[in-house]
Chains A and B, each alone.
Chain A
Amino acid sequence: MTYRSICVPLMLGTLLAISSSGRAEPPSPLDSYRNLKHPPTKENFNKGWQERVLVEFEIVNSADLGAVRAGLTDKDPFVRSIAARVLGIRGDEDSAEALAELVKTDPEAMVRVRAVESLGLLKLKPEAIELAKKDSSDAVQWVARMAAGQLKAETDFRELTQKAYAAGIKPDKLGVAKVGEPAPDFAALASDGRSFKLSTVLGKKPILLYFAAFDG
């Protein structure tokens, strides 16, 4: 790696980020993700999650589609992973071929997981989903089983997911729940598809609320 190979792209990037009015433009949502202070690694589990949540909402809701598609070939696996997830949620059928290719060839399981998950949301490329059931990673196999189930279902799970992101989230809402204070309201869908709002059951009976991981 030479001084020139590092500095020229950096300078070029800086120039490109300056608009014709001479003002620096804000980074794109995908660049914000690439430059997260705390990338979504195991070590950062409890650090910087607020920023990761906000940037993910931003990428799903407003990132330029071309930039997200380009993210599928980014050298950073976290960027490939989020790009694969977002293209599925946004219903970008033109990316199905590229997602199937990631399922088959990406060296990182976290990218293959997101790619096969998105093919399930898009209900496309059943052969790639079938192949993923035999992946070397248990996680990919499991997500492939879920994606295969989605292929057969009538419900549009992708649309429901996109709608949930479209509602947006404000920074001052993150982690607002506090013991001793009223439980914050939220809306969700029950497993049978019915709409649910916590406020409709609050103040009537005691409630146990569990935020689960799939295996926990």
Chain B
Amino acid sequence: MHEQAQLRLKRGEVEKLGADVYVVLAMDLYRTRVFKEENLVLSTFKNPFTEEPSLVFGTALSDPAGYASALYGVSRKCLRGEAWVENDPCWFVIDRRGTLTCAYPPNFSSATFYEKDIDRVLDELRKAAHE
């Protein structure tokens, strides 16, 4: 969810590039709705989006069997940490011609990893937008 919150901060840039955002969850439709509609950021300190009901501005997609995740090589069907984690999170950038130009898995290496992740993904999106 932190990746989504960070992307929310850069929403204007994404829209300026004319890009669509899709977030795929290997989960049933109910959980996908909760992911899309509830602000699940855990921090309780005052931040720009504390009052927003949702931080996910992209289209949230339910892929309950993990078919799309398997196609993109991120479905681990595994019990990593806890049992609900089905995917190895990963960003993909697709250009205007429909070609995959980047695959970038967040590495969760620090408390603020998501800032760099989103900067990197937006760099790649800019390139894809201008191709």
A118-144 residues at the B interface, CB under 8 angstroms: 120-121, 137-139, 142-143
Query: Which of A52, A183, A207 is most buried by chain B, counting CB atoms within 10 A of its CB?
Result: A207
Chain A interface helix/strand/loop/mixed: mixed
Q: Which residues of B contact A205 (CB under 8 A)?
A: 18-20, 96
Q: Which residues of B contact A207 (CB under 8 A)?
A: 19-22, 93-94
| B114-131 Cβ-contact flags toward A at 8 Å (1 or 0) | 000000010001001100
- The answer for the CA separation of A153 and B72 in the assembled complex, in Å, is 31
Q: Contacts A184-B72, A193-B29, A211-B24 given: A165-B59 contact, CB under 8 Å?
A: no
B34–A173 touching, CB < 8 Å: no
Residue from B78, B86, B102 in contact with A179 in the complex, judged by beta carbons closer than 8 Å: B102
A191–B79 touching, CB < 8 Å: no
A216–B106 touching, CB < 8 Å: yes
* B49 touches A (CB below 8 Å): no
* A180 touches B (CB below 8 Å): yes
B22–A209 touching, CB < 8 Å: yes
Q: How many residues of A contact B (CB 8 A)?
A: 74
* A213 touches B (CB below 8 Å): yes
A-B contacts, 25 listed (Cβ < 8 Å): A41-B79, A42-B81, A81-B79, A110-B79, A143-B84, A157-B30, A160-B29, A165-B64, A169-B65, A177-B100, A178-B100, A188-B61, A190-B61, A198-B22, A203-B96, A206-B94, A208-B14, A208-B19, A209-B22, A210-B58, A211-B88, A212-B25, A212-B35, A213-B86, A214-B85
Top-7 shortest CB links A-B: A175-B73, A202-B98, A186-B68, A164-B65, A139-B82, A188-B61, A113-B83
Residues of B within 8 A of A (CB): 1-4, 7, 14, 17-37, 40, 58-103, 106, 108, 121, 125, 128-129
Query: With A110-B82, A211-B24 given, can you name 16 additional A-B contacts, CB distance below 8 Å?
Result: A42-B80, A109-B83, A142-B84, A160-B29, A167-B65, A188-B62, A189-B32, A203-B98, A205-B18, A206-B19, A209-B72, A210-B23, A211-B92, A212-B25, A216-B2, A216-B108
